[in-house]
Structure 1
Amino acid sequence: MITRIVVRGYRLFMDFELEPNAGTNIVVGDNESGKSSLLEAISLALTGRINGRWAQDELNPYWFNVAAVETYFASLDSGSPLPPPEILIELYLTNNDDSLQYLLGVHNSRQDKVPGVKMHVAPNPDYAEEFADYMADAGRPAILPTEWYSVDWRQFSDERLTRRPKELGVSVIDSRTVRSTAGIDYHTREMLKDFIEPKESAAVAVAHRKARHIISTETLKSVNERIAEKGDALHDKPIGLHMDQSASASWEQSIVPQVADVPFAMAGQGQQAAIKVALAMNRSADTTAYALIEEPENHLSHTRLTKLVDRIEELAGDRQVFLTTHSSFVLNRLGLDKLVLLHRGTRVHLGALPADTVRYFKRLSGYDTLRLVLAERVVMVEGPSDEMVFERAFRDKHGKVPMALGVDVISMAGVSLKRGMQLCSALKRHAAAIRDNDGKEPEHWRMPIGELLENGKREIFIGEVADGPTLEPQFAKVNNDDDLRQLFDITDGDKATVDWMKAHKTDWALTLDEHPEVTVSYPGYISDAVDFVS
């Protein structure tokens, strides 16, 4: 298993380290946070390839960390030039596996004596003169000349690698991939080839070559005869059409899978995604020790996604899985304790969550937990009425909705406030919670979560008992009764304003939200919460 990942200078990662879980790792983060780049880096170090091509052939200036490149070019004009940017990716492996001992060594950045593999991208010494001349040219663009860089792929014993170590088999599956005329992507083709025995592969290759020969000598015979009649006019040597028999025309490049007699590329995108993930997870442990899965939820209905997540859990076995997702369902079902949260190429550390809280969110697989995980600042409220009133109060103070200023207001919708605060505490989130007092003193509700609160960071806001047990009487007390009856169009003269509001909880809050021109006052605990997250 991978016990430590080090990535330096690659894409968003300036200096990144991660100690992954032995089993499943769920990588989440905003767009451009580095999720895909992390999986790409792991795959590069394990296989030496990217998108089916050798790293050296795919190397380009955009692999390098932008900030590192900008700093380097700026230093060239400062009189104190820095060394050229480099890329280092290291995978440290468990030291209790006899089959990995030939990878053991201390040739890594930490000088740890463990098995491992690394990829180092740096200027090639053979082109030092050309590199220096390029950098000395005042007219050169601020782009690294990667043509003069080399990719060095080694194990920690310092032996150069030319192919993936057989013990480090990996399945790479990107569910975001849409259908293509090529029929099937490289990784899917590689997984399907696992089902073919060497003897069968040889037999298919011979049959494929024979079929091409028959097409060339028989099917195209009449065509080539007509071409030969014009031969003198075309060229001084015979010209004809023949099927390609070179290595580039191997049967592996021609064969495509089918789904219920429909070519794979023509199957629905949801079906493609499910099949790709199923293939990845069905590979034997001898074939693959690692599975890298990009967004398995793509193109799938909720029912199909449920089945797919069940399959991932069932088939993970002893494999180490790295999975990116934008789905709260996937995160909840596989477990918050497996969360790896990224923010702009940096790991956000998750404190230890109680096991019962992890199980709690697993049972609530439909709850939008990712909003809590990814929010910069979060306000947790009990229901839609509280949410609309808070957003109106925030908008009155700032002239903008909370989300425009990085504040996400989330209705807990029956989720325990303590569970939500536990998650916010583990993620060091700036969070406010708003709740009714329900006829009990605020301290009664504060005590169970007191250890999760932090001055200026996490706080709970509750109205005083004397002002009413819920939002409705609290709101009515600080506003003129006649003004509220007019605003909410209360025509029943026998019904008190508060009673009408209790019977029409969402209606009055929605009316308030839809009439920003009407000036109202807010209960003190609501205003305090607005100030807290501002």
Structure 2
Amino acid sequence: MLNKIKLKNFKKFQQGEFQFHAGTNILIGANDAGKSTILKAIDIVLSQTGTDDWRNRSAYGTLMNNQAIQTFLSSDKSVADLPKIQIEAWLDLGTELNSAKFEGMNNSKQKQGQGVLFEFMFDEQFTIDFNQMVDESGDEMNFIPFEFYKATWRTFSGQNYSFRSNPLKSILINNDKTSGDSFSAYSNQLFGSLSLSNRNGIGIALKKALANVSSSTLLAENGLGVDVNRVRPADLLDAYDVNTQDNKLPLRDMGSGTENSVKTTLALKSESILVLVEEPENHLDFSATRQQVKLLQDANSVEGRQLIITTHNPMIASRLNLKNIIWIQENGESKSFEDIDEETATYFSRLDNVDILQVLMAPKLVLVEGPTEYVLMDPMINQVLKNSADQLGIHVISMGGDRYKRYVDLAVYLDHKMLIITDNDGKTGRIEDADQKNDENVKVVMPKDPKHFTFESVLYNENQSFIDEDDNFQSSKNDYWKSHKGLAKKLVYMLDHKVDTALMYFGKFTDEPGLNVPDYIKEGLIWLNTK
């Protein structure tokens, strides 16, 4: 398996080290956090791929960290100051055949281990040329001459490394974008994931078949033949959907969504030990995404198979188990969820209607019990905190009920602030229990008086004069709601039509005069916004 990847001056990472575990690893994070960069680094070091620019695939200088470039340009511009890219893949190959080739101390830590080291660095044979260029350019030199650089791959034992001896037979499925002839590139990746004996067997079988064609009378009579030594299987391969044997359709002729699913299916049926998947949800509708999740879940159950997946899809993150998540943060650090409570992980793996990624990545989170509070939270935040939720970095989620215990577990594990707004349902015990839940990470607020059993009841009580005088608030014919009797008829109407009335008085929190936010919600929002 791949234990970790260590980066130096690679794209956004001046330094970075990311640990992986056996089985499935799910990389989450904001846009530009570096999730795709990590997959790209793994692909370069193990599969010797080029850059994303198919027109100049060996131009690794385009991947050099910008800060490293600027540091050099601000220096005296000596050979010793030139930056280099390093990517180290630390492997665990056990005592498998040929594992000794990968074992040694040829790594940045000079520590015994198994792995492969990629370096893109200055080639010293160009020292005279470089110094001459610096002398001629002086202070006007504003670039690094990557033409004087070289790319090398060596194992930790110091031996030259070739992708043909990739011990994990790794394959990258990039569903995010395509460049160049991506279909041929993918077919070649699949072919490369086969064992050496299988690749050789296919090559020999192809040559035998072509030799028979070459010796045919029709070709010979016309002075034609086939030079079988110039033909490689990789030049002729196309990828096909393995589930449509009777009517084979090449991958290149499929729609983007189907192509995505077929790529994943083929990769998971290949001999690859390490499968890298870039945003498996891309181009898929909800139903197809569920099928894709099932494919990945099945792959997760294959012993010896390792998956590293990037995603922005909450269903993929939760269904493949929160314990497999690695959060790539914007400061370049990562946080594993491997130690999260098993019951909490199982709880969220069964939910499709929760944006778990928003829960995990929001430093300030408001959880509300029902749709009314969810609809009204933005104007209430504006009134209390004099700013919008977006500007304050506050995310609002409806938890669809009062089962907030699992969310509390997440807040404590993440060390994030979480405000939970819920009803007391007329029960004194719930109010007392909520007070015990409060700590530096979590605050649970609800109406403090059991006779005000729900949000609407408190809203009416604290704004009674305004609501009674406003003709927009309609009245019910009844003065009771469920087991609660003797209620104001306008309150009963609010309780019977929660979402409709919430939409109606959405703007009344910003009107002058208008509705006041209930005190218990004010208290919670002020706490949430306090550092």
For this structure pair, what is the TM-score category when the shorter chain's length is used for normalisation? 0.7 to 0.9
In the alignment, which residue of structure 1 is the partner of 2:122?
Answer: 123
CA shift at 1:41, angstroms?
0.8
In the alignment, which residue of structure 2 is the partner of 1:85?
Answer: 83
Q: Is contact 1:377–1:407 with CA below 8 Å preserved after alignment?
A: yes
Q: Is contact 1:134–1:140 with CA below 8 Å preserved after alignment?
A: no
Length-normalised TM-score, structure 1: 0.83
The 1:154/1:258 distance shift into structure 2, 3 A limit, reads: closer
Query: Per the alignment, in what secondary structure is the counterpart of residue 15 of structure 1?
Result: strand
Residue number among 498, 504, 509 corresponding to 2:491 in the alignment: 498
The 1:245/1:140 distance shift into structure 2, 3 A limit, reads: farther
Distance 2:264 2:145 in 1: 37
Matched, 1:525 2:525: no
The 1:149/1:40 distance shift into structure 2, 3 A limit, reads: same
Q: Is contact 2:184–2:237 with CA below 8 Å preserved after alignment?
A: no
In the alignment, which residue of structure 1 is the partner of 2:244?
Answer: none
Residue number among 187, 197, 200 corresponding to 1:198 in the alignment: 200
In the alignment, which residue of structure 2 is the partner of 1:423?
Answer: 410
Q: Is contact 1:6–1:89 with CA below 8 Å preserved after alignment?
A: yes
CA shift at 1:340, angstroms?
0.7
Distance 2:33 2:182 in 1: 31
Distance 1:401 1:426 in 2: 27
> Following superposition of structure 1 onto structure 2, how do residues 132-531 of structure 1 map, counting pairs within 5 Å?
132-136=131-135, 137-138=137-138, 140=140, 142-177=142-177, 182=181, 184-192=183-191, 194=194, 198-205=200-207, 207=209, 250=232, 252-259=234-241, 260-284=247-271, 288-315=272-299, 316-344=302-330, 346-350=332-336, 352-397=339-384, 400-414=387-401, 416-439=403-426, 440=428, 442-447=431-436, 449-450=437-438, 453-454=439-440, 457-465=441-449, 468-483=452-467, 486=470, 488-492=472-476, 495=479, 496=488, 497-515=490-508, 516-517=510-511, 519-531=514-526
Distance 1:18 1:348 in 2: 7
CA shift at 1:374, angstroms?
2.3
Q: Is contact 2:475–2:493 with CA below 8 Å preserved after alignment?
A: no
In the alignment, which residue of structure 2 is the partner of 1:59?
Answer: 59
The 1:131/1:485 distance shift into structure 2, 3 A limit, reads: farther
Q: Is contact 1:23–1:319 with CA below 8 Å preserved after alignment?
A: yes
Query: Per the alignment, in what secondary structure is the counterpart of residue 505 of structure 2?
Result: helix
CA shift at 1:527, angstroms?
1.3
Distance 2:358 2:229 in 1: 51
With 460-469 and 104-113 compared, the bigger mean Cα shift is at 460-469
Runs of 4+ in 1 over 6 A off after TM superposition: 51-54, 209-214, 216-221, 242-249
The 1:218/1:350 distance shift into structure 2, 3 A limit, reads: same
The CA deviation string for residues 112-159 of structure 1, in whole angstroms up to 9 with x for no partner, is 212111112221111223333444524655332211122221111122
Length, aligned pairs only: 502
Q: Is contact 1:34–1:345 with CA below 8 Å preserved after alignment?
A: no
In the alignment, which residue of structure 2 is the partner of 1:23?
Answer: 23
Q: Is contact 1:48–1:164 with CA below 8 Å preserved after alignment?
A: no
With 248-257 and 408-417 compared, the bigger mean Cα shift is at 248-257
Report the aligned-residue RMSD. Answer: 3.5
The CA deviation string for residues 91-123 of structure 1, in whole angstroms up to 9 with x for no partner, is 222274343233111222223212111112221
Query: Per the alignment, in what secondary structure is the counterpart of residue 127 of structure 1?
Result: helix
In the alignment, which residue of structure 2 is the partner of 1:235?
Answer: none
Q: Is contact 1:30–1:343 with CA below 8 Å preserved after alignment?
A: yes
Distance 1:243 1:437 in 2: 86
The CA deviation string for residues 30-61 of structure 1, in whole angstroms up to 9 with x for no partner, is 1111111101111222122236999x952333
Paired residue type of 1:84: L
Query: Per the alignment, in what secondary structure is the counterpart of residue 150 of structure 1?
Result: strand
CA shift at 1:204, angstroms?
2.6
The CA deviation string for residues 281-318 of structure 1, in whole angstroms up to 9 with x for no partner, is 1123xxx2211111111222333332332222223421
Distance 1:64 1:431 in 2: 39
The CA deviation string for residues 43-91 of structure 1, in whole angstroms up to 9 with x for no partner, is 222122236999x9523332111222223323349xx998222212112
Query: Per the alignment, in what secondary structure is the counterpart of residue 333 of structure 2?
Result: strand
CA shift at 1:415, angstroms?
6.9
Paired residue type of 1:278: T
Distance 1:166 1:91 in 2: 11
The 1:473/1:19 distance shift into structure 2, 3 A limit, reads: same
Note the residue ranges of structure 2 that are not aligned, 5 or more in a row.
242-246, 480-487
Query: Per the alignment, in what secondary structure is the counterpart of residue 167 of structure 1?
Result: coil
With 158-167 and 402-411 compared, the bigger mean Cα shift is at 158-167
Distance 1:150 1:468 in 2: 73
Distance 1:211 1:139 in 2: 65
Note the residue ranges of structure 1 that are not aligned, 5 or more in a row.
222-241
Distance 2:313 2:129 in 1: 49
Q: Percent identity?
A: 23
CA shift at 1:346, angstroms?
1.5
Query: Per the alignment, in what secondary structure is the counterpart of residue 89 of structure 1?
Result: strand
Q: Is contact 2:280–2:311 with CA below 8 Å preserved after alignment?
A: yes
Length-normalised TM-score, structure 2: 0.84
Query: Per the alignment, in what secondary structure is the counterpart of residue 107 of structure 1?
Result: coil
Distance 2:325 2:215 in 1: 55
